[in-house]
A and B are shown apart, each in its own frame.
Chain A
Amino acid sequence: MHQKPDIVEILRRTNSGEYCAVKEWDVKRIPRTVRAMLKKYGLEKVLNPEEPVNTDMELADTFFKAGFELALELGMLCEPTERIVKISEDELRSTLKHAPSQLELGFGKDKRVMKSRTPSDPYPMMFGASLGITISEDVWPYYIEGIVRQKEVDLLEGGSLVSVFGLDVMPGTPSETLLGYVQGRRHRELRKQGGREGMPGIGNISAVTEFGQFCYGTKGGFYNNDLSLILFPSELKVNNQTLHKVVHTLAMDGLVFAGSPAMIGGMPGPAEGAVLSCIACALLQYAVLQASVGGGEIYDIRYLSNVNREGLWALSATHQALSRNTHILTHGIANEVSGPGTEEFLYEILVGVAVIAASGASFSTGPRAAGGKLQDYITPLECRFCAEVGHAASGMDLAKVAELAKHFLPKYEAKIKDPDIGKPIQEVWDLRNFKPTPEYHAIYQRVKQEAIDFGVPMDPF
Chain B
Amino acid sequence: MSAEYLDKLQAAILEGEEDDAAQAARDALEAGIAPIQLINDGIQKPLEKIGKDFENGECFLPELILSGDAARAATDIIMPKLTAGERADGLHGTAVIGVVSGDLHDIGKNIVGAFLAAQGLKVIDLGCDVSPKRFVDTVAEQQARFIVISTLLTTSRPFYRQIVDTLKARGLRDKTYVLVGGGPVTPAWAREVGADAYGRDAKDAVACCRELLTSGVQSPLAEPLIVNALQSKA
Contact = CB atoms under 8 A, between A and B. Distances in A.
A66 to B, nearest CB: 18
B132 to A, nearest CB: 11
A50 to B, nearest CB: 15
Given A27-B62, A171-B101, A270 B234 contact: no
B57 interface: yes
Interface in A187-224: 206, 208-209
Interface in A145-198: 160, 162, 168-172, 176
Given A421-B230, A422-B232, A169 B155 contact: yes
B107 A234 contact: yes
* Range of interface residues on A (Cβ < 8 Å): 35 or more
Contacts of B184: 134, 373-375
Contacts of B158: 168, 170
B234 A171 contact: no
Interface in B1-24: none
A16 B137 CA distance: 33
A294 interface: no
B103 A171 contact: yes
Interface in A241-265: 241, 263, 265
A208 B155 contact: yes
Interface string B128-164: 0000000000000000000000001111101100000
Contacts, number: 100
B232 A267 contact: no
B155 A162 contact: yes
A100 interface: no
A455 interface: no
19 contacts: A26-B62, A26-B65, A27-B62, A27-B66, A162-B155, A168-B155, A169-B155, A176-B102, A265-B60, A267-B60, A273-B60, A301-B108, A301-B111, A371-B183, A374-B184, A374-B230, A375-B154, A422-B232, A423-B234
B102 A339 contact: no
Contacts of A208: 102-103, 153, 155-156
Contacts of A241: 104
Interface residues of B, number: 31
A160 B184 CA distance: 13
A285 to B, nearest CB: 16
A329 to B, nearest CB: 25
A373 B186 CA distance: 10
Contacts of A169: 155
Nearest to B125: A23
B50 to A, nearest CB: 13
Contacts of A267: 60-62
Contact of A170 (B55, B57, B65, B102): B102
Contacts of B101: 170-172
Interface in B152-192: 152-156, 158-159, 183-184, 186
Q: Is the interface of B mostly helix, strand, loop or mixed?
A: loop
Interface string B42-70: 00000000000011010011100110000
Nearest to B65: A27
A341 interface: yes
Contacts of B152: 373
A206 B154 CA distance: 10
A241 B101 CA distance: 13
A171 B232 contact: no
A241 B186 CA distance: 28
A360 interface: no
Interface string B200-234: 00000000000000000000000000000011111
Contacts of A5: none
Contact of B102 (A27, A209, A422): A209
B65 to A, nearest CB: 5
A293 B93 CA distance: 48
Given A30-B62, A170-B156, 4 more contacts: A134-B184, A160-B154, A160-B155, A208-B103
Interface in A344-373: 371-373
A233 interface: yes
Contacts of B108: 301
The 7 tightest CB contacts between A and B, nearest first, are: A171-B102, A373-B183, A420-B233, A27-B62, A31-B62, A134-B154, A269-B60
A266 B105 CA distance: 13
Given A171-B156, A373-B152, A373-B183, A266 B104 contact: no
Nearest to A261: B107
Interface string A229-244: 0000110000101000
A310 B57 contact: yes
A341 B234 contact: yes
B232 A265 contact: no
Contacts of A301: 61, 107-108, 111
Contacts of B66: 27
A28 interface: yes
A215 to B, nearest CB: 16
A339 B54 CA distance: 27
Interface in A45-72: none
A233 B66 CA distance: 20
Contacts of A265: 54, 57, 60-61
A90 to B, nearest CB: 32
Nearest to B231: A421
Nearest to B131: A172
Contact of B234 (A26, A176, A269, A422): A422
A35 B103 CA distance: 30
Contacts of A422: 232, 234
B158 to A, nearest CB: 6
A103 B86 CA distance: 67
A31 B104 contact: no
A234 to B, nearest CB: 7
Contacts of B183: 371-373
B27 to A, nearest CB: 26
Nearest to A49: B57
Given A26-B62, A371-B183, A423 B232 contact: yes
Nearest to B156: A171
